[in-house]
Structure 1
Amino acid sequence: MDSLGVVVNPIAGMGGRVGLKGTDGTLEEARQRGAEPRAPERARQALRSLYRRTPDLTVYTAAAVMGEDAARDAGYEPEVVYTASSLENRSERTGHDSSGLEPDEAGTTADDTRGAVGAFLEQGVDLVLFVGGDGTAVDVASVLTDTADDKSQVPMLGVPAGVKIYSSVFAVTPSDAGRIAAEFDRVESREVTDIDEAAYRDGEVRTQLRAVVSVPVAPAVQSSKQISGGSVDSLAAGFAREIDSSRTYVFGPGGTVGAIETELEIEPSPLGVDVWRDGEVLARDAAESEILEVLEDPVTIIVSPIGGQGFVFGRGNHQISPAVIGRADEIEVVASGEKLDGIDVLRVDTDDGEIDEALRGWLRVRTGRFTTRLVKVV
C-alpha cells in the first residue's frame, strides 16, 4: 500500500457512555449528559499503530478533527484534501484555524464524510480508513460503491468508535486497524449493516443491509453481529436461583441477560443497562453516571457476548465503563450454547488497556441451569 485516506467522525460513540445508544440526532442531549468524544483518541491509536509499521506512507485526510489532527499526532505529515464547510466558515468568521477545536463543536456532518471519501478517491488511495460506527460505515460505503464496480472498488476498513458496530468492516481494536492497514495483501467482500437508532432506543433492533464492500482480509476484522435464537430459560432460572440479596447487580443489554431479569420479575430494558439490588431496581436504562451513583459493594456485572463477534465489553454497552467495571468484584458472562458455538473467542475493548489486559484469559461462561463452558478472552 502506497497511500491511505483517513476520515474521522469526531462525534462517533459520544452517546454510548451516557446511555443514548448512539449519537445520530442526539448530539445536544449527549452534551447535556456530559458525554465526551472518544473517536479522536481511537483514531490516534490506530494511526500510531500504522506509523510504527509504515512511517513513509502517504496519508490524505480531512482537515482538523476529521483526521488531520490525529494523523499529525501519530507522526505523519498528512495532505489535507477536504475541509468541512463548518470549519471553513469558522475560520472566515473568527480569523483562526480549526486546530484545538473540540470534536463535538466542529459541526461536521455525514455529507462531510462523503465529501472527504470522494476527495480521497480523486487522489487514487489504496485504502480508506475511517473512524466511527455503522452510520459512518454507510456513508463511506455509499461513495465507494457509487464510484466503482466490485473489481475496481477501493477497500475500506473501520476503526471501531461508534456505539453500534454491527457491520463486518471493522477491526477488532484501533491498534488492530493500524496493523491490518499496514500489512494486508488481499481483500474480500463484506457487509455494511445499520440499524434504526430511534427504534434501537425503544428496545427494538431493525437491521438493514446497506452495502457490500471490499475489506482487507485479516483474523482481527470482526464478524457481523448475529442475533442468536435458542432458549435461555434454563440458564435464566439457574442464575436467578443463585441470586445473592446482599449484592448489587448490573444487568447489561441483550435478550439473554433480559431473560434473567424477567425471571427476577424485573422489566428489562433490552438494549440498556439496569441496576438491581434485593428486589429493587435502582436504575433503569442507565448512563454511566447513574450506574456509579447507585452502586453499593459488592457488585456483580452480568453481560452476554455479541453473537458472531464475541464482544462482552466495548460494543453496545459503553455505559458499563472502565469505572463501572472497576467497582465490580464479580463479572458473570452468560450465553446459550448455540450462541457460543458461533464464537471462537471472547473480546473486550473498554478504552482502558489495563482493564482489557486484566479481563483477558480463560473465562467460565454460564450456558444453562448447571452447565458452563470455558472460553478464552483475547
Structure 2
Amino acid sequence: MKNRFRLGVIINPLAGLGGSVALKGSDGVALEALSKGALPQAMSRMAQALSKVEPDKDRIDIVTASGDMGENIARKMGFTTDVVYQAPIRTQAQDTKAAVTELLKHNLDLLLFAGGDGTARDIYTVVDDALPVLGVPAGVKIHSGVYGVSPYASGHVVKLLLDGELVSLMSADVMDIDEALFRQGHVQSKWFGEMQVPAEPHYVQAVKQGGIESEAWVLADIAAEAMELMDDELCIMGSGSTIAFIMAEMGVENTLLGVDLIKAHSLIQADLTATELLEQTVHQSVKLMITLIGGQGHILGRGNQQLSPALIRQIGKENIIILATKAKLKALEGRPLMVDSGDPVLDKTLAGYYKVITGYHDYVMYPVAEIN
C-alpha cells in the first residue's frame, strides 16, 4: 500500500493586502490596508493550488495551523487535516515561524505556503534547507525564486510529487526588499539565503532581475512609439523602470512602483488604488501600458495588484499595450509572459500572442501563457 503524502500547509492571511490599495506591501500596514477596503486573497489562492490535488485527497494528509493559517481551507475542501499549531485571530510573522517549527516535527514530504517575500523569509529562518518547500504567490512583492508562477502552477507541482513523478530539487533564492524604501520608490533587495524547491521550470518562477535598462536609446524609441499611441485617451501607466522612462520623456511625474493615470501627456492622478482606477476609468476608452518583470516575465500579478480583474475586464484585452526591450524578452530564454491576476477565468482569456512594442515602429509577437 502506497504511503499517504504528508503536505504541510501554511497561509499568511495578511499577505498581499497592501497591493490593491497602493500600499506596495503588507508589512506593518495590514490594518491600514483593511481600513481602505482591501480584501484578503491568500486563502483563496491556496485553495486554487490545492484544487489541483483535491481529487486525490484520500491520498493526502495535511498538517497545518488553525483557522485562516490553513485549517479552514483544508477542512472546507475535505482534506484529512492535522492541526499542530493554534494561531491567534490576528497573526504576525512570529506565528508563521512558530507554526513552521511545529510542522517540522511531523515528517512532511513538502511544505506548501501562501504569502509573499516576507513570508518566504520568515519560513527560511526556520526551515533553511531541512525540507523541500514551495510557495503559492499571494504577496505584493514576489522577488524570490521559491514560488510557483501561479497558484495553479504550484498545485501542479504538488500533483507531480503526489503521483511519484521524478521531480528534481533545486536551490532557490530567498529575497526581500525594504518596504519603507519601496513605498518611497526605491528598490533595495537583499539576499537572505536559499531553500530547496521542486525544480519544474515551467511552473516555478525565476528570481526577479533588477536594474535600470542601460540602453537608453532603445527605451527612447519605445517611449516615442508609446506616446504616438496615446492620443487623447486615458492611459493607465503600470509600474516599472520602462514605464518610468516613458513618463520622464513626456515630462510627467511618475510613481515608479505604483500605477498612474494620464491623459494627453498630463498627469490626472498618481499612485492610484484598485478602487480609484475603477472609478476613474468607468465608461471611458482606456489604454493600459505595462511591461514585464525582468527574469520572470509576469505582466500582471507581481507588484501591480492595483490592476484588478474587474479593471482588466473593463479595459478589454485589446487595450492592453505591452512594452519591453528585446534584451528583456531574450532573457526569458523562450519562456512565455505570465498573467496571475487572481482570477483564473480571466487569466485564461488573456492567454495568446500579443504585439509587444520593442522600439519605434518595431514590434515582436510574443505569447502570454495560459497557466493551469
The answer to whether the superposition gives a TM-score over 0.5 is yes
* Residues 43, 68 of structure 2: 8 Å contact kept: yes
Q: Which residue of structure 1 lines up, in the alignment, with residue 199 of structure 2? A: 217
- Measured after TM superposition, the shift of residue 32 of structure 1 is 1.6
* Residues 4, 129 of structure 1: 8 Å contact kept: yes
- Measured after TM superposition, the shift of residue 374 of structure 1 is 1.0
Which of 61, 64, 67 is the matching residue for 1:64?
67
Q: Distance in 2 between matches of 1:181 and 1:114?
A: 22
Q: Which residue of structure 2 lines up, in the alignment, with residue 334 of structure 1? A: 323
Q: Distance in 1 between matches of 2:153 and 2:230?
A: 38
Q: How does 1:121-200 map to 2 (within 5 A)?
A: 121-145=104-128, 150=129, 153-184=130-161, 185-200=167-182
Q: Distance in 1 between matches of 2:143 and 2:79?
A: 30
Output the amino acid matched with 1:274: D
- Measured after TM superposition, the shift of residue 357 of structure 1 is 1.4
Q: How does 1:252-291 map to 2 (within 5 A)?
A: 252-291=238-277
Q: Which residue of structure 2 lines up, in the alignment, with residue 317 of structure 1? A: 304
Moved >3 Å (runs of 4+): none
Question: Is 1:349 equivalent to 2:326 in the alignment?
Answer: no
Q: Distance in 1 between matches of 2:23 and 2:275?
A: 13
- Measured after TM superposition, the shift of residue 354 of structure 1 is 2.6
Q: How does 1:360-375 map to 2 (within 5 A)?
A: 360-375=351-366
* Residues 240, 263 of structure 1: 8 Å contact kept: no
Q: Deviations over 1:6-30 (max 9, x none)?
A: 1100010011011111110111210
Question: More deviation in 207-216 or 170-179?
Answer: 170-179
For these two proteins, the number of residue pairs brought into alignment is 351
Output the amino acid matched with 2:314: R
Which of 77, 80, 83 is the matching residue for 2:86?
83
Q: Distance in 2 between matches of 1:183 and 1:358?
A: 26
- Measured after TM superposition, the shift of residue 364 of structure 1 is 1.0
- Measured after TM superposition, the shift of residue 259 of structure 1 is 1.2
3-state SS of paired residue (2:53): helix
Question: More deviation in 209-218 or 183-192?
Answer: 183-192
Can you give the 5+ residue segments of structure 1 that lack an aligned partner in the other structure?
87-105
Output the amino acid matched with 1:42: R
Identity %: 38
Q: Which residue of structure 2 lines up, in the alignment, with residue 205 of structure 1? A: 187
* Residues 168, 191 of structure 1: 8 Å contact kept: yes
* Residues 141, 213 of structure 1: 8 Å contact kept: yes
Which of 15, 18, 24 is the matching residue for 2:18?
15
Q: Which residue of structure 1 lines up, in the alignment, with residue 36 of structure 2? A: 33
- Measured after TM superposition, the shift of residue 209 of structure 1 is 0.5
The alpha-carbon distance between structure 1 residues 55 and 261, as it changes in their structure 2 partners (threshold 3 A), is farther
Q: Distance in 2 between matches of 1:141 and 1:126?
A: 17
- Measured after TM superposition, the shift of residue 54 of structure 1 is 4.8
Superposed CA RMSD in Å reads 1.4
* Residues 222, 360 of structure 2: 8 Å contact kept: yes
3-state SS of paired residue (1:367): strand
Output the amino acid matched with 1:135: G
Output the amino acid matched with 1:173: S
Q: How does 1:43-58 map to 2 (within 5 A)?
A: 43-58=46-61
* Residues 258, 268 of structure 1: 8 Å contact kept: yes
Which of 277, 295, 299 is the matching residue for 2:286?
299
Q: Deviations over 1:323-354 (max 9, x none)?
A: 11122141100011111111221000111223
